[in-house]
Amino acid sequence: MPHTEIAKQADYLFIMLGYPHDVEKMVFCPENGLYKHMKKGAYLIDHTTSSPSLNVRMAEEAAKIDVKVIDAPVSGGDIGAKNGKLVTMVGGEKDDVDHVRPLLDMYSAQVELMGAAGAGQHAKAANQIMIANNLFGVCEALIYGQKSGLNLDQMVQLLSKGAAGSFQLSGLAPRILARNLEPGFYVEHFVKDLGIALAECKNMGIALPGMSQSAQFFNAYVAQGGAKKGTHGLIEVLEGLNNMKIDTY
């Protein structure tokens, strides 16, 4: 069924697209855009990791046609999605969010209203900044552990239980050691997310050098053919830099 027909019928319409320009086209296209076809009183829940300013614009334009918009990017990757344990970061009006919360709760471990339109996207940007720096650190630690002669499986299992514990360590490092670089989340989409975060940093006049450096390494991985790999494939860039490969199971 074409999305225009779905829009005409849906009381609650969920979208999750690749890039902000995809969202902009689907929502605002003069002929086939969702806003040309959604019925009054309907809710548009946008799970795309997108631009905060775009979600603000979507909310402003939706108010003119009596449509409710909620930006609700998620975190948790393929594992969280399969297990119904996503973390959903929400921007929008409280009454609207309260209304759709039972739907979001069906696949979310936690749903949190972060503020007005666009606030969910800002929270997701912060999430991606943390992941970029954390995953970069995990990959560096594996390189270090290899060179120092540690058993990497043992190291990951042990450190996952300490202060360095994270999903990147406990969830992704074992995939690296098994040489399973298939995507839970595509590198090309992560690069897009970091690009959004960098643009917002510029808008706010702040410098985040850790994230900026990590973004360059992910960009390098794309240039080397890693766009469709999982983010943990970053290990290949660091292996190349050090002219080595880590041990695998």
Nearest to 57 by CA among 96, 23, 30, 88: 23
For residue 231, the 8-state DSSP code is G
Query: Tokens 């992560």 identify what position?
Result: 190
Nearest to 231 by CA among 189, 197, 198: 189
Residue 245 annotated among the catalytic residues of the structure:
no
Query: In whole angstroms, what is the distance from residue 116 CA to residue 113 CA?
Result: 8
Rounded to a whole number of angstroms, the CA Rg of the chain reads 20
Report yes or no: 231 and 78 within 8 Å, Cβ to Cβ: no
Residue of 85, 124, 147, 202 with catalytic role:
124
Nearest to 177 by CA among 139, 227, 149, 214: 139
Helices (H) and strands (E) in the chain, counts: 12, 6
Amino acid letter at 176? I
Q: Which residues are catalytic?
A: 124
